[in-house]
Structure 1
Amino acid sequence: MDWDKLRIFHAVADAGSLTHAGDTLGLSQSAVSRQIRGLEESLGTTLFHRHARGLILTEQGELLFDATRAMSKRLDTAAARIRDSEEEVYGELRVTSTTAFGTLWLAPRLPSLYAKYPELKIDLMLEERVLDLPMREADVAIRMKEPSQADLIRKRLMGVKMRLYASPEYLKENGTPQTLPEMAHHRLVCQNANAHQVSAGAALVRELMTHAIRTTFTVNNYFGVLQAVINHLGIGVLPDYLTEDFPQLVRVLPDVESADVPVFLAYPEELRHSKRIAAFRDFVLEGVIAYRKQRVTASDL
């Protein structure tokens, strides 16, 4: 199949007009029309319905357009990777993280990355399922445990603990528990212990539930837990990194916390020299360093 004809077909299908496609390609309308006729003849089918208001793809044309659209996207991606590796931070970067970390820690910090690299295109995929980096389901991941694949470059970012937090308004109205048994008189806001989450968080919830807590509100991610806590619904189990961006949270029962949850950044070995990966890695590390300094400063007050 003639690649040049396919390129012209794609432009026409995208524009819905021979004239507009010709303007984009720098060709006359008649030249574009000849190429489309030649492609239709070689395929033995009609690709467009022609009428006074423009062109509409036939069923066969839709099938071909789906193929050329996928080809165009892959070519753009390849061009971006080539340009990225040789010149600048440019193109799409697919990042995967958990819903909580991606929503509550990563996303609020992304404006500084875009300010430095305005042509970067980040596709942030938030889900608890671990995407397969070697199979290129994503380019880079932030995970709440050390990756197991041998062909990944990984960097430990920090440790996270799940702790108990409440709003000042909730504590003013309901009092502050001083011991774990006193949690029975408060509403616990958390993820269900059987929900998909880090094991340390689930273990803490199970421990808390042994104290005959009478009322609970459970939600399947920490963003929901946070919203409930800052709206004074109860005492919530939340990751400690939230204290930087939500200083109004009051820690309850300071001796109660989960085991340490390691946070790792990982990406495939084959992307070792990618400037996009390097830019994102450095941005995350800078954020972690700033977070650590803030924690040290807060502990000294």
Structure 2
Amino acid sequence: MRPQTPSTHHRGLDAMETFKWDDLRIVLAIARHGSATQAARALGMTQATISRRLQSLEEELGLALFVRTPEGMLPTELAQTLLPRAEQMQQAALAVSAAVHEFAEAPRGLVRLAIPEDTAALHALPHLPTLLARHPDLQIDLHTGTATSDLTRMEADLAIRLVRPTRGDLRVQALQTTRFAVYGAAAYLDGRDTTDLTKLDWIDWSEDLAHIPDARWRRDHLPQVAPRLQSNSMRIRRDAVLLQMGVAVLPSVHARIWPELVEVPHDLPPLPEVTLWLVGHARTRYTPRVNAVWDFILSQELGQHEG
């Protein structure tokens, strides 16, 4: 090898800043096995390829990495300095490989799904036995309630929301679009004048949920109504209607499940349709465990538009 010059040395420093694992693993293999032939066999390459790659690397560095002797190839001081770092890189590469392998395996682990309570009870829970039977190593945590879990802070893996999020590195998929209407129990409505909605007893959302579409509709078009009962639970509101306590804005799917619920006609502007949104964080959206739940939700009734 030609003597080191200042320009060659500078080129060597630049090369060292961009060392590739493919180069270092060749250095590591030669040091471990003592010859290019044995290193080639260990790496599944040809001896010619190993020799050519080593020569190219030494020329790029402007420094020798091995001394060729009759007893084999002996690492220079530079190579001996690099070997511990090369071994660290090898361990890191093996860890990455293991992580990729684990990623490609069957779904396993816990998936936290933030979901409205009523949606969980009516649309998620009945199908969970199928999902869990399909993926025996999967666990589900249904986090219900009115508080919005912050996916950007990883408070949940997936969420089903009434309003499409617009901030954060999130993946979003539209689910079922649901029609809403004013409903009362048949026994409650019997004999009552339903032409004036202000004369009926109203069961509404709590004030802290006044922002959701069906709550806004009542406040916009019937602001003079003072609700007799308010709750932050869809289930409580529906059960109150079934107990003949008054009327409420409910999803039309409820009338299919509970036929005693009767739609109350009116001349007010129509209630908005509400689309549910499936939301996941970009960082974990395609992990096997989260992807299994995501795809399963889309395959069920929630993933279909209401007919």
Q: TM-score range by the shorter chain?
A: 0.5 to 0.7
Q: Is residue 263 of structure 2 the alignment partner of residue 251 of structure 1?
A: yes
Q: TM-score, normalised by structure 2?
A: 0.58
- Give 1:135's match in structure 2, choosing from 149, 153, 156: 153
Aligned to 1:240: 252
- Give 1:204's match in structure 2, choosing from 210, 213, 217: 217
1:165–1:237 Cα contact (<8 Å) kept? yes
Q: Is residue 285 of structure 2 the alignment partner of residue 272 of structure 1?
A: yes
Q: Identity of counterpart residues, as a percentage? A: 25
1:237 partner letter: V
Q: Is residue 110 of structure 2 the alignment partner of residue 92 of structure 1?
A: yes
C-alpha displacement of 1:84: 6.5
Aligned to 1:183: 197
2:204–2:227 Cα contact (<8 Å) kept? no
2:162–2:212 Cα contact (<8 Å) kept? no
Aligned to 1:152: 170
Quickly say closer, same or farther: Cα 1:109–1:198, change in 2 above 3 A. farther
Partner SS, residue 267 of structure 1: strand
Quickly say closer, same or farther: Cα 1:254–1:213, change in 2 above 3 A. closer
Q: Distance in 1 between matches of 2:235 and 2:127?
A: 16
Q: Distance in 2 between matches of 1:158 and 1:99?
A: 16
Q: Distance in 1 between matches of 2:159 and 2:153?
A: 13
1:153–1:267 Cα contact (<8 Å) kept? yes
Gaps of 5+ in 1: 1-80, 297-301
Partner SS, residue 264 of structure 1: strand
Gaps of 5+ in 2: 1-98
Q: Distance in 1 between matches of 2:264 and 2:148?
A: 32
- Within a 5 Å distance, the mapping from 1:1-301 to structure 2 comes to 85-172=103-190, 174-175=191-192, 177=194, 179=195, 182-192=196-206, 194-207=207-220, 209-210=222-223, 213=225, 216-253=228-265, 257-288=270-301, 292=305, 295-296=306-307
Partner SS, residue 202 of structure 2: strand
C-alpha displacement of 1:244: 4.5
Partner SS, residue 142 of structure 2: strand
2:175–2:304 Cα contact (<8 Å) kept? no
1:165–1:235 Cα contact (<8 Å) kept? yes
Q: Distance in 1 between matches of 2:208 and 2:105?
A: 44
Quickly say closer, same or farther: Cα 1:91–1:167, change in 2 above 3 A. same
Q: Distance in 1 between matches of 2:227 and 2:215?
A: 18
C-alpha displacement of 1:208: 5.1
Aligned to 1:54: none
1:156–1:265 Cα contact (<8 Å) kept? yes
Partner SS, residue 106 of structure 2: coil
Aligned to 1:23: none
1:139–1:267 Cα contact (<8 Å) kept? yes
1:126 partner letter: T
Q: In the comparison of the two structures, how many residue pairs are matched?
A: 208
C-alpha displacement of 1:209: 3.5
1:190–1:222 Cα contact (<8 Å) kept? no
Cα deviation per residue 1:239-283 (whole Å; 9 max; x = unaligned)? 334344434422212665432333211111122332222221222
Quickly say closer, same or farther: Cα 1:213–1:196, change in 2 above 3 A. closer
2:115–2:144 Cα contact (<8 Å) kept? yes
Larger radius of gyration: 2
Indicate the larger mover: 224-233 or 122-131.
Answer: 122-131
1:229–1:236 Cα contact (<8 Å) kept? yes
Cα deviation per residue 1:183-227 (whole Å; 9 max; x = unaligned)? 2332111213x22254312222214544x5476222222111011
C-alpha displacement of 1:138: 0.8
Q: Distance in 1 between matches of 2:242 and 2:128?
A: 23
2:185–2:243 Cα contact (<8 Å) kept? yes
1:154 partner letter: V
2:176–2:303 Cα contact (<8 Å) kept? no
Q: Distance in 2 between matches of 1:281 and 1:197?
A: 29
2:152–2:168 Cα contact (<8 Å) kept? no
Quickly say closer, same or farther: Cα 1:213–1:99, change in 2 above 3 A. same
